[in-house]
Amino acid sequence: MDRTTIDLWVGVFVALGVAALLGLAMKVGNLTSSKIGETYSVNAAFENVGGLKPNAPVKSAGVVVGRVTDITFDAKTYEAIVNLKIDQRYAFPKDTFANIYTAGLLGEQYIGLEAGGEDDVLKNGDKITQTQDAVVLEKMISQFLYNKASESKSDADAKPSDTKPAELGDAPF
């Protein structure tokens, strides 16, 4: 095997590898989308952050404008303090509303910002006051079951003889 042929092939091989890595980083990974240049940080307090994690996206109108840097617990107010870094290019009014949303039914949680109407904008270190907690699935389900139960209870009160479920018949409530 000629040495120059080998060199050529190895060169091609390494170039392919670098291209694949770059392709992975650019096309598959979030290198392009996570390219947030200068940022400023704000924080927000939530009663419940659910499954929100550091590095989760912060979106406004569906566009990623920043990331969650960290989540801490405030022992005085018993609230979760979420620190966000937001792209310097985007300014948000002081009365911006921060929600914790879930992407899809079982997807990842992210923070959605809804701009308010004030003229003053959020600056580095400011606090977003208006927040809405994460929707916790268990809470939703228990609420749903509670409603169902009260519904069926009123049903049962209305027609006690017909549809009364056998299992609930002897229940002590």
Partner 1 sequence: MIKSNLFVGIMQLLGGMGHRMIARVWRLGAGARLFFLTITYSGESFRRFHLTLREIYFTGVMSLLIIVVSAFFVGMVLALQGYNTLQKYGSSEAIGVLVALSLVRELGPVVTALLFAGRAGTAITAEIGLMKTTEQLSAMEMMAVNPIARVVAPRFWAGVISMPILAALFSMVGVLGGYLVAVPLIGVDDGAFWSQMQANVDVRVDIINGVIKSVVFGVACTMIALFEGFDAPPTAEGVSHATTRTVVISSLTVLGLDFVLTSFMLVV
- Contact positions toward partner 1, by CB under 8 A? 1, 3, 6-7, 9-10, 12-14, 16-21, 23-25, 27-34, 55, 57, 64, 104-108
Q: How far is the CB of 20 from partner 1 (least distance, A)?
A: 4
Which of residues 79 and 87 has its CB atom nearest to partner 1 in the complex?
87
Which of residues 12 and 168 has its CB atom nearest to partner 1 in the complex?
12
Q: How far is the CB of 72 from partner 1 (least distance, A)?
A: 19
Q: How far is the CB of 44 from partner 1 (least distance, A)?
A: 21
Which of residues 65 and 122 has its CB atom nearest to partner 1 in the complex?
65
Gap between the terminal Cα atoms of the chain: 88
Which of residues 1 and 75 has its CB atom nearest to partner 1 in the complex?
1
Max Cα-Cα span within the chain = 95
Q: How far is the CB of 142 from partner 1 (least distance, A)?
A: 22
Query: Cβ of 133: how many Cβ atoms within 10 Å?
Result: 16
Q: How far is the CB of 115 from partner 1 (least distance, A)?
A: 22
Which of residues 31 and 168 has its CB atom nearest to partner 1 in the complex?
31
- Contacts of 85 by beta carbon, 8 Å cutoff, 6+ apart: 36, 39, 40, 41, 66, 67, 69
